[in-house]
Homo-oligomer: A and B are copies of this chain.
Amino acid sequence: MNPNAAPVRKQNKRREKEVVILQAAEKIFAEEGFGGATMQLIADAAQLPKANVHYYFSTKEELYRQVVSNIFDVWLQAAGSFEESDGPAEGIGAYIDAKMEISRTRPAGSKVWASEVMHGAPIIQDYLETTLVEWTNSRIQAIEAWIAAGLMDPISPRHLLYMIWATTQHYADFGHQIQTLNHNSPLSEDEWNRAKDSVKTIILKGIGVAT
């Protein structure tokens, strides 16, 4: 009996190994691109034989699909604080903070996402057309409400969102360039805070929100 429930220990072990492979794959896909990444490189990064990786993820595309899907979830959840906030100062400020934090902690994921979209989103086009469109329209409505309430300037909510996405993700996707321009050293804790403050200050003032 109980034919459906697999042993708990085994299930955990399987999941743990999948996570190890997914993390290695995210790193390699970010560094090499989809075409440049090889299953051997991913297997080496995960410290497993290549055939073992293929046991958990049958094809390179299947593995890539799951990496991209994971990042998309993180991306969407970054705006949890958006709607439930009182006004633009708190809502947009927190959203910028959240997205900057993702750039700092998950730069590889951000690069994989950027690469996927840059190449025409061959894998996650359906998500863009459904989830992302809904998500965006919902945020645009929130911003329009703030504008109608006189809490901020009547700017284009859509282009404001693009600016926030672009600027925050730039710190991950172009992290190498930023590091080169920072005496070849990664941003320190203070420098990250300076970046966050700069982005928030300019954008919030730019849309007429007092801080």
Contact = CB atoms under 8 A, between A and B. Distances in A.
Contacts of A125: 180
A144 B203 CA distance: 20
Copies in the complex: 2
A133 B181 contact: yes
Which residue among A133, A166, A167, A203 has the maximum number of chain B CB atoms within 10 Å of its CB?
A166
Contacts of A3: none
Majority secondary structure of chain A interface residues (helix, strand, loop or mixed): helix
Given A35-B36, A162-B195, 20 more contacts: A33-B35, A33-B36, A35-B37, A36-B119, A132-B177, A133-B181, A153-B205, A155-B198, A156-B194, A163-B167, A165-B170, A165-B174, A166-B166, A166-B167, A167-B167, A201-B206, A202-B203, A203-B206, A205-B207, A206-B207
